[in-house]
Amino acid sequence: MSAPRMSAKEALVAVHAARGERDVVVTTMSPARDWMTLRQHPLDVVLVPSAMGHATSIGLGIALAQPERRVIVCNGDGSMLMNLGSLVSIAAAGAANLVVLVFDNGVYEVTGAQPIPSPGAIDFVAIARGSGFASVFEHSEIDRWREDVQRILSAPGPTMALLHVEPVTGIPGPRSPGPAADRGRRFTAAIQQQG
Ligand SMILES: Cc1ncc(C[n+]2csc(CCOP(=O)(O)OP(=O)(O)O)c2C)c(N)n1
């Protein structure tokens, strides 16, 4: 019997509801696609298009530059595999304000659902613990995730939560929400405006 998985969109909606006004949320891949269907926030960083794997590194950079803010990264499992070393960098930097959510759907969803290497066999929880993350969680049931998300986002960081989610097929990948330079300028202005 395969392991239970929750709806990725519903899991993301719970993150959207729990996010604080001062939080930065970095999204990529299918989480970025679904995030863009929800109410937008000036401190959203939508990494589309993107070099695969860099959401955690960009999240780390923002977390170190803005230590008084929480930074939440919504990453794909394939992208996480492509930059596992960033987990060591995050822990080594002591980025206590960084939360990494890994949306484990077992596939490269946005390019057509090709399986990631060794789907189901990679222990992201052990990898995060072994990298030195302060708090590590694993969820596969939407009701429990909804109940726990606020507590998990507020846990001593750096924090990783592995979310087992259903892959979705047959819908297009995320589309760029506009020129990256313009979005970068708007993001910087929003940070400065909040102070
Ligand atoms: C270095 C690199 N290799 C391959 C790609 C092509 N590519 C773009 S998205 C993607 C799949 C992303 O999968 P995952 O991170 O698991 O997110 P999901 O689509 O499942 O949400 C691939 C293979 C890329 N953009 N960059």
164 burial type by CB count under 10 A (0-12 exposed, 13-18 middle, 19+ buried)? buried
Q: Is 56 in the pocket of ligand 1 (CB under 6 A)?
A: no
Count the helix, strand and coil residues of the chain and give each as a percent rounded to the nearest 5. Answer: 40, 20, 40
Q: Rounded to an integer, what distance in angstroms lies between the CA atom of residue 55 and that of residue 134?
A: 20
Q: Domain 8-194 sits in which CATH superfamily?
A: Thiamin diphosphate (ThDP)-binding fold, Pyr/PP domains (3.40.50.970)
Nearest residue by C-alpha to atom 21 in ligand 1: 30
Using the mean position of ligand 1's atoms as its centre, give its distance from the Cα of residue 30 in Å. Answer: 9
Nearest residue by C-alpha to atom 4 in ligand 1: 52
Quote the pTM value. 0.98
Note the pLDDT of residue 75.
Answer: 98
Q: Which atom of ligand 1 is nearest to the CA of 80?
A: 15
7 CB-side CA count, 13 A: 7
What is the chain's pLDDT, residue by residue, as a tens digit (195 residues)? Answer: 567 999 999 999 999 999 999 999 999 999 999 999 999 999 999 999 988 999 999 999 999 999 999 999 999 999 999 999 999 999 999 999 999 999 999 999 999 999 999 888 999 999 999 999 999 999 999 999 999 999 999 999 999 999 999 999 999 999 999 999 999 999 999 999 998
The beta strand positions in the chain, using DSSP E, are 24-28, 44-47, 71-76, 98-104, 107-108, 114-115, 135-139, 159-164
Q: Is 76 in the pocket of ligand 1 (CB under 6 A)?
A: yes
Note the pLDDT of residue 106.
Answer: 97
Q: Which atom of ligand 1 is nearest to the CA of 107?
A: 20
Q: Is 163 in the pocket of ligand 1 (CB under 6 A)?
A: no
Q: Rounded to an integer, what distance in angstroms lies between the CA atom of residue 166 and that of residue 155?
A: 26
**DSSP bridge pairs for 60:** none
Q: Which atom of ligand 1 is nearest to the CA of 29?
A: 21
